[in-house]
Structure 1
Amino acid sequence: MRSFLPACLGLVAAAFIALQLPGCSGYDSLDELDNELSGLIERERDLTLGTDASRGEPIDTIGQGRATQTPTQYDREPQSTNPTTNQLTTQPSGRQMRTGDALIYAEVASPLDPDNEYATRLDLEGLLAFAIANAPEYRRQKEVIFLQTLDLIIERHQWGPRFFNTTTARLQGDIPEAGDHEQALNLINDFTVSRRLPYGGDISATALVDYTNLLRKSSASTGSFGSQGTTLSLDLDLPLLRGAGKVAQESRIQAERDLIYAVRDFERFRREFLVDLSRSYFDLIAQQEQIENVRRQLISNERLAARFASLAEAGREAVFQAEDAQQTVLSNRNSLLNVEERYATAIDLLKLRLGMPITDPLILVPAEVLVPEPVLNVTQSVNTAMDNRLDLQTRRDRVDDTRRAVKVAENNMKADLDLDASLDLRTRSDRDFGGVNFDLGRGDYALGMTLGAPIDRRIEQAELRRSRVRLEQNERDFRVERDRVVLQVRDSIRGIDQARYTLELQTRGVQLNERRLEGVRLRERTLGPRDVIDAEEDLLEARNARDQAAANLRIRVLDYLLNTGQMRVAADGSWMPPGKLVPIDDATQTQPQPESGG
Structure 2
Amino acid sequence: MSRTRSALLTLAALSVVSCSPMQWSGAADREVYGLLREKEETLFGEAADFDIETPHSAEDPSEIAAIDIFTERHQRDTRKIDLVAAIGISVDRRREYQAEKENLYLAGLELTSARHDFSPIFSGGSTGELSSAGIDGDETSRQLTMRTRAGFSQLLKSGGTVAIGLAQNIFRYYLGGSGGPSTEFFSANLTQPLLRGAGPSATENLTQSERDVAYAIRSFSRFQKRNALDVTSAYFRILEEKDRVRNEYFNYRNLIAFTERATALAEDRLPQFQVDQAKQDELRARNRYVGEVSTYRTRIDDFKLTLGLPVGGDLFVDDAALRDLEKTGLTPLPLDEEAALALATRHRLDLLNEIDQFEDSQRRMTVAAEALKPGLNLFAGLSLDSPGGRTYSNFDAEVYRSRIGIDLDLPLDNVPERNAYRRTRIAFERQLRELGLALDRIQSDIRAGFRGLSLARERYEIQQSALQLANQRVEAVNLLLDTDRAETRDLLEARNAQLSARNALTSALIDYHLTRLELLFDLGVFDPDKDRFWAENPAIPQVPRNNGEGSDVGEPGRGSLISPEELFQEPST
Normalising by the smaller structure, the TM-score range is 0.7 to 0.9
Tell me what 1:104 maps to. none
Asked if residue 155 in structure 1 is aligned to residue 123 in structure 2, the reply is no
SS across alignment from 1:374: coil
Say which of 216, 227, 244 aligns to 2:181. 227
2:12 matches 1:44 = no
Tell me whether 1:511 sits opposite 2:468 in the alignment: yes
Residue 265 of structure 1 corresponds to: 219
Partner of 2:237: 283
Amino acid at match of 1:21: S
Letter of the 2:372 partner, please give it.
M
**What are the equivalent positions in structure 2 for 1:353-392 lying under 5 Å apart?**
353-366=306-319, 367=321, 368=324, 373-392=332-351
How many Å separate the matches in 1 of 2:375 and 2:506?
72
Of Structure 1 and Structure 2, the greater helix share is in 2
Cα distance in 2 for partners of 1:265, 1:291 equals 39
Deviation per residue, 1:302-338 (Å, 9 max, x gap) = 11110011111x2321111111111110010001011
Query: In structure 1, how many angstroms separate the alpha carbons of the residues matched to 2:452 and 2:394?
Result: 81
Secondary structure of the corresponding residue to residue 265 of structure 1? helix
**Structure 1 residue 13 displacement after superposition:** 6.4
Contact between 1:38 and 1:59, CA under 8 Å: does it hold in 2?
no
Q: 1:381 to 1:65 in 2, by over 3 A?
A: farther
Secondary structure of the 1:174 match is strand
The 5 Å alignment of 1:410-559 reads 410-427=369-386, 429=387, 432-435=390-393, 437-440=395-398, 442-524=399-481, 525-559=484-518
Q: Secondary structure at the match of 2:183?
A: strand
| Structure 1 residue 134, shift from structure 2 partner | 0.6
In the superposition, relative to structure 1, how do residues 364 and 43 fare at CA in structure 2: closer, same or farther (>3 Å)?
same
The residue aligned with 1:33 is: 28
Change (3 A) 1:523 1:63: same
Residue 254 of structure 1 and its aligned partner are, at CA, apart by 0.6
Stretch of structure 1 that moved more, 545-554 or 407-416: 407-416
Cα deviations by residue, 1:443-493 (Å, 9 ceiling, x for unpaired): 101112222221111121111111111101111111111121122122222
Contact 1:62 1:143 in 2 (8 A): no
Q: Measure how far apart 1:430 and its partner are.
A: 6.2
What runs of 5+ residues in structure 1 fail to find an aligned partner?
73-116, 219-223, 570-574, 583-593
Which has the higher mean CA deviation after the structures are superposed, 347-356 or 53-62? Answer: 53-62
Distance 1:118 1:215, change over 3 A: closer
- Contact 2:374 2:410 survives alignment (8 Å): yes
Q: Secondary structure at the match of 2:485?
A: helix
The counterpart of 2:300, out of the listed 347, 372, 394, is 347
Amino acid at match of 1:251: N
Aligned to 2:263: 309
Q: Where does residue 15 of structure 2 map in the other structure?
A: 21
Task: Note if 1:121 corresponds to 2:85.
Answer: no
Q: 1:11 & 1:397 partners in 2: Cα distance?
A: 52
In structure 1, how many angstroms separate the alpha carbons of the residues matched to 2:217 and 2:261?
66
Q: 1:65–1:146: structure 2 CA closer, same or farther, 3 Å change rule?
A: farther
Query: Any conservation in 1 of the 2:365–2:421 contact (CA below 8 Å)?
Result: yes
Q: TM-score, normalised by structure 2?
A: 0.84
Of 270-279 and 250-259, deviating more is 270-279
Of the three residues 121, 124, 135, the one matched with 1:165 is 124
* Partner SS state of residue 226, structure 1: coil
Would you say the 8 A contact 1:381–1:489 is kept in 2? yes
How much has 1:65 moved relative to structure 2? 5.7
- Local SS of the residue matching 2:16: coil
What is the identity, as a one-letter code, of the residue corresponding to 1:43? E
> 1:212, CA displacement in angstroms?
3.2
Q: Distance in 2 between matches of 1:541 and 1:435?
A: 99
1:57 and 1:151 mapped to 2: Cα distance?
A: 16
- Whole-Å separation in 2 of the counterparts to 1:447 and 1:23: 37
The answer to whether the 8 Å contact 1:495/1:556 transfers is yes
**How far 1:240 moved relative to its partner?**
1.4
Structure 2 residue runs without a partner (length 5+): 67-75, 537-549, 552-573
Percent identity for Structure 1 against Structure 2? 25
Quickly say closer, same or farther: Cα 1:172–1:26, change in 2 above 3 A: same
**1:354 counterpart letter in structure 2:** L
Provide the secondary structure at the position in 2 that maps to 1:301.
helix
Specify which of 85, 89, 94 is matched with residue 130 of structure 1: 89
Q: CA deviation at 1:24?
A: 13
| Alignment match, 1:77 | none
Q: Answer yes or no: is 1:561 the counterpart of 2:520.
A: yes
2:348 equivalent to 1:395: no
Q: How many Å separate the matches in 1 of 2:77 and 2:24?
A: 42
- Does structure 1 residue 327 correspond to structure 2 residue 280? yes
More deviation in 286-295 or 489-498? 489-498
- 2-side partners of 1:237 and 1:567: how far apart? 53
Partner of 2:565: none
Determine if contact 1:211/1:227 at 8 Å carries over to the other structure: no
Contact kept? 2:192, 2:379, Cα under 8 Å: yes
Q: How does 1:77-156 map to 2 (within 5 A)?
A: 119-156=78-115
Structure 1-normalised TM-score? 0.81
Deviation for aligned residue 1:25: 13
Using a 3 Å threshold, how does the CA distance of structure 1 residues 55 and 69 change in structure 2: closer, same or farther?
closer
**1:497-528 residue CA offsets vs partner (Å, 9 max, x unmatched):** 32223212211111111011110111113212
Q: Give, in whole Å, the separation in 1 of the partners of 2:238 and 2:148.
A: 71
- Hey, what's the Cα distance between the residues in 2 that align with 1:124 and 1:418? 64
1: CA distance, partners of 2:19 / 2:164: 16
Instruction: Note closer, same or farther for the CA distance 1:304–1:24 as it changes in structure 2 (3 Å cut).
Output: closer
Superposed displacement of residue 66, structure 1: 4.1
Please tell me whether the aligned partners of residues 131 and 138 of structure 1 are also in contact (alpha carbons under 8 angstroms).
yes
Of 208-217 and 506-515, more deviation after overlay is shown by: 208-217
Change (3 A) 1:233 1:318: same
Alignment CA distance shift 1:436-1:31 (3 Å) = farther
Contact map agreement 2:28 2:109 (CA 8 A) in 1 = no
Give the deviation of 1:281 after TM superposition.
1.3
> Aligned partners of 1:70, 1:300: CA distance in 2, in Å?
56
Q: 1:58 to 1:464 in 2, by over 3 A?
A: closer
Q: Tell me by how many angstroms 1:351 deviates.
A: 1.1
Equivalent position of 2:250 in the other structure: 296
Secondary structure of the residue aligned to 1:242 is: coil
CA distance in 1, matches of 2:261, 2:65: 71
Three-state SS of the structure 2 residue aligned to 1:359 is coil
CA deviation after TM superposition for structure 1 residue 175, in Å: 3.4
Secondary structure in 1 aligned to 2:62? coil
